[in-house]
């Protein structure tokens, strides 16, 4: 999709958050599930918000996913999302399902809204039962507010092995009305393309019906959240949920709306920011990897190539060692199951610094310069006639990743 015209109308708000769109509040606190850090949070909307979700493709799915799917399926409307970290409530049997429903019930009581308008989700250790004696009182202590500090507390409450908080905010104009998008996410390990291993929440005050919001989220997820990888593992809990309050008072959005592409692009920018921050914050990571594929036959082929390169352990370790080993890129491309003639391709390795972007490139194997220690980007160019670019993101693989995951439970 050509989004050049719509992109000019979209502005990033560096101080924005999930409470920047009209109608939204948030909070986060320490309930005691974790030893010290905040571990329970809520996003609240003052009106029933059109809502949509996408979920992990792992065949083993945690109890909260079933409850959230059920809530959204009833009306396509939510007013609150209750999240706990430190415990995934996954593989916990019938008791885990009862606990997930209990979280929804108590959230509805605390906020004075119907149960089916509450989503719940959990993240953390798999196979351990929730400590409901801490969770239930904590839910009733949550006091959603519209301040940035409240959104920041929610951000902390959903983190597990994350090192940094991840948020994004954009603003655009639709039908002469200001429309805002706020996003927050967690995730740093057990991440692989195909909607996995993260929690992502996006709020917007756009006016849109639930079925079209679901269509938009599914499209954007394929371009962003489904294109990141840290370690090739797909979790049991992960989801992205979007809530739209409608308070911007624009005309109802749908694919035939003259500014539908603007809405999609703003949602995509918010989601891409979160996706790249998740990849950059991969457990033990020191570098972000970005793979760009140009000139592919179609998006399916481009996606396969980009994901294979970004997820290759040999590429990831080469990046960690700042070893510009272009042969590993070609090897990953070769087993990505796409059709191509190796002699007709060009391969570029691009490096980034904190102050400016410089380029390091290889054409048919001729070395030009060493990689930087701050970032790494690979361009696969197959045809000058096809200009569209498909992307995927990952991170390097380090000794620290092994240390973190070797002692995750202990």
3 within domain boundaries: no
The answer to whether residues 252 and 304 belong to one domain is no
The answer to whether residues 205 and 346 belong to one domain is no
46 within domain boundaries: yes
The answer to whether residues 85 and 221 belong to one domain is yes
Supply the pLDDT for residue 329: 78
Domain count of the fold of the chain: 2
Supply the pLDDT for residue 205: 98
The answer to whether residues 52 and 184 belong to one domain is yes
Using CA atoms, how far apart are residues 177 and 256, in angstroms rounded to an integer?
A: 18
Tokens of 299: 């998006």
Identify the DSSP state of 184: E
Please say whether the beta carbons of 158 and 241 come within 8 A.
no
The answer to whether residues 221 and 367 belong to one domain is no
220 within domain boundaries: yes
**222, 249, 279: which is the final residue of a domain?**
279
Q: Is 343 helix (H, G, I), strand (E, B) or coil?
A: helix
Using CA atoms, how far apart are residues 56 and 190, in angstroms rounded to an integer?
A: 12
112 within domain boundaries: yes
pTM of the model: 0.81
4 within domain boundaries: no
CATH number at residue 91: 3.60.70.12
The answer to whether residues 41 and 82 belong to one domain is yes
1 within domain boundaries: no
Using CA atoms, how far apart are residues 294 and 408, in angstroms rounded to an integer?
A: 39
Q: How far is CA 330 from the centre of its chain?
A: 28
The answer to whether residues 261 and 315 belong to one domain is no
The answer to whether 197 is a known catalytic residue is yes
Supply the pLDDT for residue 334: 76
Mean pLDDT by 10 residues, the chain (410 residues): 54 96 98 94 98 90 95 98 95 96 98 98 92 98 98 95 89 97 80 58 98 96 82 73 98 97 97 87 73 75 78 80 74 73 54 38 37 51 52 76 66
Q: Which of 188, 221, 286, 279 is nearest to 54 (CA)?
A: 221
Supply the pLDDT for residue 356: 35
The answer to whether residues 260 and 294 belong to one domain is no
The answer to whether residues 218 and 333 belong to one domain is no
Supply the pLDDT for residue 148: 96
2 within domain boundaries: no
β-sheet bridge partners, residue 351:
358, 376
Tokens of 296: 């592919």
Tokens of 283: 């457990």
**246, 279, 312: which is the final residue of a domain?**
279
Supply the pLDDT for residue 4: 40
The answer to whether residues 232 and 165 belong to one domain is yes
The answer to whether residues 256 and 297 belong to one domain is no
Please tell me which residue in 68, 123, 180, 197 is annotated as part of the active site. Answer: 197
Angle at 310 between CA 304 and CA 312, to 5 degrees: 95
The answer to whether residues 172 and 264 belong to one domain is yes
Using CA atoms, how far apart are residues 328 and 233, in angstroms rounded to an integer?
A: 21
Tokens 């989004």 found at: 3
364 within domain boundaries: yes
CATH number at residue 402: 3.10.20.340
Over its C-alpha atoms, the chain yields an Rg (Å, rounded) of 21
Q: 238-275: b or e for each residue (b if 16 or more CB lie within 10 Å)?
A: bbbbbbbbbbbebeebeeebebbbbbbbbbbbbbbbbb
Please say whether the beta carbons of 250 and 206 come within 8 A.
yes
Tokens of 39: 């571990």
Domain holding 173, by residue range, is 9-279
Tokens 């301040």 found at: 147
Q: Which of 204, 123, 191 is nearest to 156 (CA)?
A: 123
For the chain, the distance separating the N- and C-terminal CA atoms, rounded to the nearest angstrom, is 47
Supply the pLDDT for residue 227: 80
> Could you give the maximum distance between any two Cα atoms of the chain, in Å?
66
**257, 279, 301: which is the final residue of a domain?**
279
Strands (E), 322-374: 346-352, 357-359
């Amino acid at each position: 999709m050509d989004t050049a015209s719509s992109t000019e109308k979209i502005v990033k708000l560096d101080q924005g958050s999930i409470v920047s769109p009209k109608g939204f509040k948030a909070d986060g606190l320490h309930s005691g599930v974790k030893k010290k850090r905040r571990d329970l949070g809520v996003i609240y909307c003052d009106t029933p918000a059109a809502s949509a979700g996408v979920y992990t493709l792992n065949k083993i799915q945690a109890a909260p996913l079933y409850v959230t799917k059920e809530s959204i399926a009833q009306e396509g409307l939510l007013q609150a999302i209750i999240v706990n970290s430190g415990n995934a409530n996954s593989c916990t049997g019938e008791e885990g399902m009862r606990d997930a429903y209990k979280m929804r019930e108590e959230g509805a009581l605390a906020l004075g809204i119907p149960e089916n308008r509450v989503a719940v989700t959990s993240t953390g250790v798999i196979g351990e039962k929730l400590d409901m004696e801490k969770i239930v009182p904590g839910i009733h202590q949550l006091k959603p507010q519209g301040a940035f500090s409240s959104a920041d507390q929610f951000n902390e409450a959903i983190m597990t092995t994350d090192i940094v908080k991840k948020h994004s905010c954009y603003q655009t104009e639709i039908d002469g009305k200001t429309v805002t998008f706020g996003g927050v996410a967690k995730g740093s390990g057990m991440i692989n393309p195909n909607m996995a291993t993260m929690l992502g929440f996006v709020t917007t005050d756009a006016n849109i019906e639930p079925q079209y919001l679901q269509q938009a989220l599914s499209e954007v997820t394929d371009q962003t959240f489904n294109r990141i990888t840290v370690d090739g593992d797909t979790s049991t809990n992960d989801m992205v949920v979007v809530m739209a309050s409608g308070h911007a008072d624009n005309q109802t959005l749908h694919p035939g709306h003259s500014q539908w592409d603007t809405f999609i692009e703003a949602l995509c920018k918010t989601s891409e920011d979160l996706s790249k921050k998740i990849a950059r914050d991969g457990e033990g990571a020191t570098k972000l990897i970005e793979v760009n594929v140009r000139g592919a036959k179609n998006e399916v082929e481009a996606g396969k190539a980009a994901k294979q390169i970004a997820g290759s352990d040999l590429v990831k370790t080469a990046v960690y060692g700042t070893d510009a080993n272009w042969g590993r890129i070609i090897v990953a491309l070769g087993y990505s199951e796409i059709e191509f003639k190796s002699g007709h391709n060009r391969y570029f390795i691009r490096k980034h610094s904190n102050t400016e972007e410089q380029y390091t490139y290889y054409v048919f194997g001729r070395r030009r310069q060493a990689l930087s220690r701050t970032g790494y980007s690979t361009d696969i160019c197959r045809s000058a006639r096809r200009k569209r670019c498909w992307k995927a993101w990952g991170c390097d693989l380090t000794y620290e990743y092994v240390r973190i995951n070797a002692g995750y439970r202990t």
